[in-house]
Structure 1
Amino acid sequence: MDINKAIAELKKEPGFAENVGMMLVHNGVVRAWSRKDHSEVTAIEITSDLERIESIRQEIEARPGIFRAVAQANSGRMKPGDDVLLLVVAGDIRENVKPALADFLDRVKSEAVSKREIFA
Structure 2
Amino acid sequence: MLDMNRMIEIIKKNQDFKKVGMILCHNGVIRGYSKDGKKVKGLKVKLDKVKLKDLINRIKKKPGIIDVLVNIREG
Scaled by the length of structure 2, what TM-score is found?
A: 0.84
Query: Structure 1 vs Structure 2: percent identity of aligned residues?
Result: 34
Greater percentage in helix = 1
- Counterpart for residue 14 of structure 2: 13
Structure 2 letter corresponding to 1:37? D
| Shift of residue 32, structure 1, vs aligned partner | 2.1
Q: State the one-letter code of the partner of 2:16.
A: G
For these two proteins, the number of residue pairs brought into alignment is 74
Distance 1:62 1:32 in 2: 37
Helix, strand or coil for the counterpart of 1:31?
A: coil
Q: Is 1:44 matched up with 2:43?
A: yes
Q: What root-mean-square deviation, in Å, do the aligned CA atoms of Structure 1 and Structure 2 show?
A: 1.4
Of Structure 1 and Structure 2, which has the larger fraction of its residues in strand?
A: 1
Encode CA deviations 1:20-76: one digit per residue, 9 max, x unaligned.
111111111222221x31311111111111221121011011001111112121211
Q: Could you tell me which runs of 5 or more consecutive residues in structure 1 were left unpaired when the two chains were aligned.
A: 77-120
TM-score, scaled to structure 1: 0.56
